[in-house]
Amino acid sequence: MTTSDMSDDGEPTRRDFIHIFGAATAAAGAGAVLWPLVHQMNPDASVLALSTKEVDLSSVPVGQAIKVMWQGKPVFIRHRTPAEIEEAKSVAISQLKDPVARNANLSGTEEATDTNIVTGSTGEAHEPWLILVGVCTHLGCIPLGTTSGENRGDYNGWFCPCHGSHYDLAGRIRKGPAPENLLVPPYAFVTDTVVKIG
């Protein structure tokens, strides 16, 4: 062993420094080459813009509904009247075809009570506002009942004319071939009249 390899007291020498410096430079170079490859797999701005949507509800009068698009799917937002809320609350779970709330804001096993369906991601229920993904759970059609004058079915909610599924005022399947209630998307109220979906 020469004096340039290691000193007598075990301290690193110039050769050790060169090896460490070379390995660190190679690692930094590999990171610089790999970073663009990894970064290109992130979603672009148009995809990120579709992941959430803010909707101003201040212009939706009581008793009316609107349809907005979120992630390529229609979302129904209904401003329910006090009578519609009471009608939805009066339904017993035993009368339902699907007893599960299907609310993305909850754990997924809650009963399909009106309160569980109108609960947002903050855990707070907003009874007047019913927010549902407007896709029939049978074959993916878009039910009627959001626009004024459309057939709302036997339960005053939504009606899918393709195969005759009837949903009530809480988006629960009551009659027809659809196996599940309409889904509740993840959402949170930013203000009293602005909701962020997604």
Catalytic: 19? no
Strands 194-197 and 53-56: antiparallel
Which residues, 6 or more positions from 113, have their beta carbon under 8 angstroms from its beta carbon? 89, 93, 101
Distance CA 142, CA 164 (A): 12
Contacts 24+ apart (CB under 8 A), 77-80: 77/129, 77/130, 77/131, 77/195, 78/129, 78/130, 78/146, 78/169, 79/128, 79/129, 80/127, 80/128, 80/129, 80/130, 80/169
Distance CA 109, CA 131 (A): 19
Catalytic residue among 19, 79, 126, 163: 163
Q: 3-state class of 40 per DSSP?
A: coil
Burial (CB < 10 A; 0-12, 13-18, 19+), residue 171, is: buried
The residues that are catalytic are 163
